[in-house]
Structure 1
Amino acid sequence: MSQSPVVQSPVARSPVLQSFIAGEWLGNQAGQALASPVNGETIYHTHAETIDFARSLEFARTKGRASLMAMDFQSRASCLRDLGKHLLEYKESLYAISLLTGATRNDSWVDIEGGAGTLFAYASVGRRELPSGNLIHEDDAFPLGRDGQFFGSHILVPRQGVAVHINAFNFPIWGMLEKFAANFLAGMPCIVKPATSTSYLTEACVRLMHESGLLPEGSLQLIIGRTGDLLDRLDGQDVVTFTGSASTAAKLKVTPNIINNSIPFNAEADSLNCAILAPDVSVDSPEFELFIKEVAREMTVKAGQKCTAIRRVLIPENQVQAVSERLTARLAKMSIGDPHLDTVRMGALASFEQKADVLAQLEQLLKSSQLVCGHDEGFELLGKGSEKGAFIQPTLLLSNDPDADGGAHDIEAFGPISTLMPYKNIDHAIALAARGKGSLVTTLVTQDPEIARKVVPALAAWHGRVHILNEASSKESTGHGSPLPMLKHGGPGRAGGGEELGGIRGVKHYMQRAAIQGSPTMLSAVTGEYVRGGETYESDVHPFRRYFEDLRIGESLLTHRRTVTETDIVNFGCLSGDHFYMHFDDIAARDSQFEQRIAHGYFVLSAAAGLFVSPGEGPVLANYGLDTLRFITPVPIGDTIRARLTCKRKIDQGKLSPKGEPQGVVVWDVQVTNQHEELVASYDILTLVKKQFD
């Protein structure tokens, strides 16, 4: 990969950071000085110019929305993929700047490549799960009347406002991209406000995205510094997402304008996450060592500055000494200092303010706990000038009374600090875990499925994610502290009560759900999908003979009939090997609820395909699956069936076949009925259909 000519190193950039507002970079006058947490030297300044947020919002609501609505889900998904590729191409320039935040390369990998990976993940979600267009038909329409001409359903459309993202300092790139990916795919422009202390890394990432030429105009804006009157200018179509402390989230959430306009506010707050060593795990088992590694890793990755880090370590009372000794020994091997050095495994906290806050919280924790290891001002630091940096030694505490109020159940030191909390039995462990008042994630280390069966549902009530770790899963496990794009990231109570990521769930957060009612034909027109009972179009040309562009939603074929015989059932049974008694045992079948032998359900599918398939070569390239299959009415010997095939949905993913032929996805609604017009089988067929033109 070539290296970026834009963002190569800190010295190649202006010392004054700039906001990206209304399509322009703003800021030349130096404002607040930002010091390197590695050695205390000033590395950047925020800009002193005031941002016109009225102009910023207007630009997003007009230019930004228009440019995003000129695209559709599929094209925005492709854009996310290309943005991810672009960031990876220039990732080394971001790694160079990330070192200034105090992060090691391993820490930065999570932030930089994890951020790009989230773009790829949401690109895949969009291509795989979303339609063409800018409307999601969320579920099948269902009849609301007796005559089949009044139906109801739900649709999702992009909100017409702006997504405002207020992010924490610990993940300057991933923290932005994990929100941006979802709102962008949904078709909503955003304004990003990173934490000031590490905003220089976010600014570098936004510059790369802007200068790629891939970003639609107005789809992304960046604030360096304060939000001013931004929150007071929002309206009911806007969305606010926040990541940071629970106290700050509580203050922002009650902003009068947010309350008065019922503006959606999603908070992902710091939480007192825990890890539980189950009582079945012995000191000599592989799971014990996995537990030690997981706790140590979560204490030291990003110097413990993770909203998902393990703050409370729940262990059996008889394991206190063993866990203390093994964790102490492991943490003692941790090399700390300037992350520019390859030998350093843990860097600095993100700022001197952060260091002061962590030390203050540590002093509070020591009132209810005793020191096991760490908290030593004399620990060795690697790197010239690092003695002037914002470093803290990994520190392990032991709670004096895990059942007491306060302490580690209430106080979070957002750094490399964890507290051991002994428990009496597994029920006691569950109760202690809940004392965190809601957390993002917990890890249960156990060998026993029965313990998992009992404990996990109880933990799920208080945690957004439950990570079960044993030797079998360890080789593939992404770990306690790694939110994944396909899984929900958030938690109840203290953790903010919000939800991010979660695949398509994250996209829907930026969309408005509406119930719709009307005739099947009207609902088909609105949703862009055929609704049963709606108008269909039949012609002399078989639908399988039409190219993707020529097919119309509602284009339909009603087939000829076929009477099912005993020979059909016998032949299908011999071919498939399915000799289930309901198909072959006349006496047993008469005693069943059907009172007679019936045809195989899969024979009905095969027979239906024989009725509606056009066998000659044509635009239909492949059938790659069935959805929503239901067998509804049994088909006994002598029944006559027919099928109706209707073009239900078209999705243009912009893909090519292995031969380079442009193609799209067509979903066909299939209804198989008997001689009484009763529905026998119902399903969707997914096919790849050739286009005439690229």
Structure 2
Amino acid sequence: MQQLTSYLSGRWVYGEGRPREIHHAVSGEALYQVCTDGLPLAESLSYARNHGGAALAAMTFQQRAQMMKALAKYLLAHKESLYEISFQTGATRADSWVDIEGGIATLFSYAGLAGRELPDDTLWAEDELIPLSKQGQFAARHVLTSRPGVALHINAFNFPCWGMLEKLAPTWMAGMPAIIKPATASAQVTQAMVKLMVESGLVPEGAIQLICGGIGDMFEHLDFQDVVTFTGSAQTGQKLRSHPHLMAKSVPFTMEADSLNCAVLGSDVTPDMPEFALFIKEVCREMTVKAGQKCTAIRRIIVPAAQVDAVCDALLKRLSGVVMGDPRVEGVKMGALVSLEQRDDVQEKVDFLLRNGCEPLCGATTEGLTLTGDNLGKGAFYPPTLLYCADPLTHQAVHATEAFGPVATLMPYQDLAQAVTLAQLGGGSLAGSLVTADGEVASQVIRASACAHGRMLVLDAAAAAESTGHGSPLPMLVHGGPGRAGGGEELGGLRAVKHYMQRTAIQGSPAMLAAIGREWVRGAPVAEDPVHPFRKYFEELRIGESLLTARRTVTEADIVNFGCLSGDHFYAHMDKIGAAQSLFGERVAHGYFVVSAAAGLFVDPAVGPVIANYGMEGLRFIEPVKIGDTIQVRLTCRKKIKKAQKSAEDKPHGVVVWDVQVFNQEGNAVALYNILTLVERKEGDF
């Protein structure tokens, strides 16, 4: 039997002790032995900090993004080997697609997000300058820096690839190394992906390590700069979170636990409406994808009392068409649970629900299963199981007991207020769904029940064509939930990256804040040069380099001509009587004329390194510009972001963010904003 090795301190190693076996979920045959006894687990923490952590922290956000994008491409090119191993866990090809390619897509997503939003630096200035004094020479801003620690990720069995990558992407982007501890039942899939990462040579040594088996006393060696994340059962998570050493060292702990997620059918929906069919399809999909082994799966089906029979009939009809068996066989829609232990746990929970107010509508036992494929007698199969709880307000077990398999319970509600109550009885959920065609129903239910959910899907016929579904966490959206769901947040775009970084408020003069952030801020010194900044290549521009333009006096003709050209005949610009009665007291220039006139003052018109205007951010009109006012502009290089050259044919370039301040004749700011330009680089990456 094969030994499933761990990857620690740059070596593939196996322990010495009593091993635990991993069995094929479909055939029941023994596949691997797992053991970590005697391995240098604690030493792997120091190795991560000193090797992977040091290397990642030295990389800029842009370099980390490029690393992750290259790794995602490599994993995608080798995905078929992962699919082959994933079949051992009972997953169908469709199940594995969510896990394998969905996980890889998370790497792509974070790499793209960082490439667009984060600096080409190791420090992230999170916000704008915060003035702390009248004269503006004492200010503050918050910065984010990499923790010199390690992230220990303890993952669940149901998504051995995605569960790892959803945490790795923000961890690496934050500049932290990670040690992955997958659930033993599906650790072979995680190990296969980690092997690909190591073989790729794209990730710094020590940036990722893998523990296949127990973690021993690792918690005793964690420090305040480290981070622990956990995905799994609420009971196990609570036990880990309360570890005395974690509390003594204030080690951040994020928990994402299984929850009793619900789907609510709106009171407006009837069987002849398209939303009814959408509801049935969504519930059945969540019951059968990954054989119901999803932390976001629908466990409670909350429907109007008048529609219980119709929903029951429709669900039973659709579930009866689900073909179970070997996931390799064509036509099989649902495979096995991950292990016999997991199957026994599901049966135990179903039996408990049946003793506490629920009755079976289908499934609920492994006897008499019809399976497609050969040699399946020892597989961990469990049928789609639909239960019914007639009085869900009295029988609380249905809101507190989760059978982590293809099991859901149908329950009635009398009115929307009761539907909200039932939704909240879950005690905190990762995801909830509401299917309705009525905006007022949606408003009433979501406003009242959002507090109990981390994410909510409102599904109607319009959204259905493009909806990713109830149970699909997306990299740009928060994944987590309150209460029973763990109280944590994962993913959520750049929010997740911040979780692995240290936020510090820095106070000082604008000059010092600019030096620390390597980003010019208003009030810091500027440097002027006879050469126009638009004549300089990306590498030649200096942060703080500034241009003070010539002046321009605004005339009545300017306002009239701009109004005719733009079609903007707003009374404050064009109507002398109306403007006199306005808060301005007289006619004023269009705000967009001021912006256009400012561009005319600072732009150098000749062909040069500036390729294009990339956009405008943070535009604010501070004071009105009246006829006869004279404006002047100060243009300052605020920050530079080097962009990777995608091919030898592409022109190498970077993004330059310019601070624009438009003043009037009294020196008062009338408009403030940033413009972004694409500026050619002298040297390419090829």
TM-score category of the 2 structures, normalised to the smaller one: over 0.9
Q: Cα 1:84–1:656, aligned 2, differ >3 Å: closer, same or farther?
A: closer
Give the equivalent residue in structure 2 for 1:45. Answer: 33
Give the equivalent residue in structure 2 for 1:7. Answer: none
**Residue 334, structure 1, aligned to residue 322, structure 2:** yes
Give the equivalent residue in structure 2 for 1:10. Answer: none
Give the equivalent residue in structure 1 for 2:165. Answer: 177
| TM-score for both structures, normalised by structure 1 | 0.97
Give the match's secondary structure for 1:456. Answer: helix
Q: 1:27 aligns with which of 5, 8, 14?
A: 14
Give the equivalent residue in structure 1 for 2:105. Answer: 117
Q: 1:373 aligns with which of 362, 365, 368?
A: 362
**Residue 356, structure 1, aligned to residue 344, structure 2:** yes
Give the equivalent residue in structure 1 for 2:568. Answer: 578
Structure 1 residue 561: deviation in Å?
0.5
Q: 1:242 aligns with which of 220, 230, 238?
A: 230
2: CA distance between counterparts of 1:583 and 1:28? Answer: 79
Of stretches 651-660 and 253-262 in structure 1, the one that deviates more from structure 2 is 651-660
Answer yes or no: is the 8 Å Cα contact 1:656–1:663 preserved in 2: no
2: CA distance between counterparts of 1:27 and 1:656? Answer: 41
Q: 2:181 aligns with which of 176, 193, 199?
A: 193
* Mapping of residues 140-219 of structure 1, within 5 Å: 140-219=128-207
Cα deviation per residue 1:173-195 (whole Å; 9 max; x = unaligned)?
Answer: 00000000110011000000000
Q: 2:669 aligns with which of 671, 676, 679?
A: 679
Give the equivalent residue in structure 2 for 1:4. Answer: none
Cα deviation per residue 1:580-601 (whole Å; 9 max; x = unaligned)?
Answer: 1110100110001100000000
Amino acid at match of 2:615: G
Structure 1 residue 81: deviation in Å?
0.9
Which structure 1 residue ranges, 5 or more long, are not aligned?
1-13
**Residue 67, structure 1, aligned to residue 46, structure 2:** no
Q: Cα 1:323–1:234, aligned 2, differ >3 Å: closer, same or farther?
A: same
Structure 1 residue 405: deviation in Å?
4.4
Answer yes or no: is the 8 Å Cα contact 1:459–1:466 preserved in 2: no
Q: 1:83 aligns with which of 50, 71, 78?
A: 71
* Mapping of residues 300-319 of structure 1, within 5 Å: 300-319=288-307
Give the equivalent residue in structure 2 for 1:589. Answer: 579
Structure 1 residue 214: deviation in Å?
0.6
Give the equivalent residue in structure 2 for 1:429. Answer: 419
Structure 1 residue 658: deviation in Å?
9.5
1: CA distance between counterparts of 2:556 and 2:671? Answer: 20
Give the equivalent residue in structure 2 for 1:134. Answer: 122
Q: 2:485 aligns with which of 484, 495, 498?
A: 495
Amino acid at match of 2:442: A
1: CA distance between counterparts of 2:648 and 2:526? Answer: 33
Cα deviation per residue 1:379-414 (whole Å; 9 max; x = unaligned)?
Answer: 201111212111100000110311014221000000
Give the equivalent residue in structure 2 for 1:526. Answer: 516
* Mapping of residues 288-687 of structure 1, within 5 Å: 288-367=276-355, 368-376=357-365, 377-655=367-645, 660-687=650-677
1: CA distance between counterparts of 2:670 and 2:295? Answer: 53
Structure 1 residue 657: deviation in Å?
8.8
| TM-score for both structures, normalised by structure 2 | 0.98
1: CA distance between counterparts of 2:257 and 2:226? Answer: 20
1: CA distance between counterparts of 2:164 and 2:649? Answer: 38
Give the match's secondary structure for 2:209. Answer: strand
Structure 1 residue 105: deviation in Å?
0.5
Cα deviation per residue 1:275-327 (whole Å; 9 max; x = unaligned)?
Answer: 00001001011000000000000000000000000000000001111001100
Measured on the aligned residues, the alpha-carbon RMSD in Å equals 1.2
Structure 1 residue 509: deviation in Å?
0.5
Structure 1 residue 344: deviation in Å?
1.0
**Residue 232, structure 1, aligned to residue 252, structure 2:** no
Structure 1 residue 457: deviation in Å?
1.8
Answer yes or no: is the 8 Å Cα contact 2:61–2:120 preserved in 1: yes
Structure 1 residue 36: deviation in Å?
1.0
Give the match's secondary structure for 1:388. Answer: coil
Give the match's secondary structure for 2:584. Answer: coil
Give the match's secondary structure for 1:311. Answer: strand
Answer yes or no: is the 8 Å Cα contact 1:554–1:646 preserved in 2: yes
2: CA distance between counterparts of 1:587 and 1:103? Answer: 74
**Residue 255, structure 1, aligned to residue 246, structure 2:** no
Of stretches 44-53 and 96-105 in structure 1, the one that deviates more from structure 2 is 44-53
Structure 1 residue 616: deviation in Å?
0.7
Q: Cα 1:659–1:605, aligned 2, differ >3 Å: closer, same or farther?
A: farther
2: CA distance between counterparts of 1:107 and 1:656? Answer: 33
Of stretches 475-484 and 649-658 in structure 1, the one that deviates more from structure 2 is 649-658
Amino acid at match of 2:624: P
Structure 1 residue 50: deviation in Å?
2.2
Aligned length: 681
Give the equivalent residue in structure 2 for 1:5. Answer: none
Structure 1 residue 659: deviation in Å?
5.2
Answer yes or no: is the 8 Å Cα contact 1:657–1:663 preserved in 2: no
2: CA distance between counterparts of 1:601 and 1:574? Answer: 15
1: CA distance between counterparts of 2:240 and 2:15? Answer: 29
2: CA distance between counterparts of 1:455 and 1:48? Answer: 49
**Residue 98, structure 1, aligned to residue 112, structure 2:** no
2: CA distance between counterparts of 1:448 and 1:658? Answer: 53
1: CA distance between counterparts of 2:680 and 2:516? Answer: 26
Which structure 2 residue ranges, 5 or more long, are not aligned?
none
Structure 1 residue 486: deviation in Å?
0.4
Give the match's secondary structure for 1:481. Answer: coil
Cα deviation per residue 1:471-525 (whole Å; 9 max; x = unaligned)?
Answer: 1000100000000000000000000000000010111110000001100000000
2: CA distance between counterparts of 1:96 and 1:588? Answer: 74
Give the match's secondary structure for 1:689. Answer: strand
2: CA distance between counterparts of 1:123 and 1:509? Answer: 17
Cα deviation per residue 1:317-375 (whole Å; 9 max; x = unaligned)?
Answer: 01111001100010000000111211211000011111111100001111211111112
Structure 1 residue 48: deviation in Å?
5.2
Cα deviation per residue 1:113-171 (whole Å; 9 max; x = unaligned)?
Answer: 00111110011111011101111111101211111110111001111100000000000
Give the equivalent residue in structure 2 for 1:269. Answer: 257
Structure 1 residue 656: deviation in Å?
5.6
Answer yes or no: is the 8 Å Cα contact 2:15–2:38 preserved in 1: no
1: CA distance between counterparts of 2:46 and 2:300? Answer: 46
Of stretches 22-31 and 162-171 in structure 1, the one that deviates more from structure 2 is 22-31
Amino acid at match of 1:128: R
Give the match's secondary structure for 2:562. Answer: helix
Amino acid at match of 1:70: A
Of stretches 42-51 and 257-266 in structure 1, the one that deviates more from structure 2 is 42-51
Amino acid at match of 2:635: L
Structure 1 residue 653: deviation in Å?
2.1
Of stretches 501-510 and 32-41 in structure 1, the one that deviates more from structure 2 is 32-41
1: CA distance between counterparts of 2:386 and 2:479? Answer: 27
Structure 1 residue 28: deviation in Å?
7.3
2: CA distance between counterparts of 1:659 and 1:187? Answer: 31
Answer yes or no: is the 8 Å Cα contact 2:36–2:215 preserved in 1: no
Q: Cα 1:50–1:28, aligned 2, differ >3 Å: closer, same or farther?
A: closer
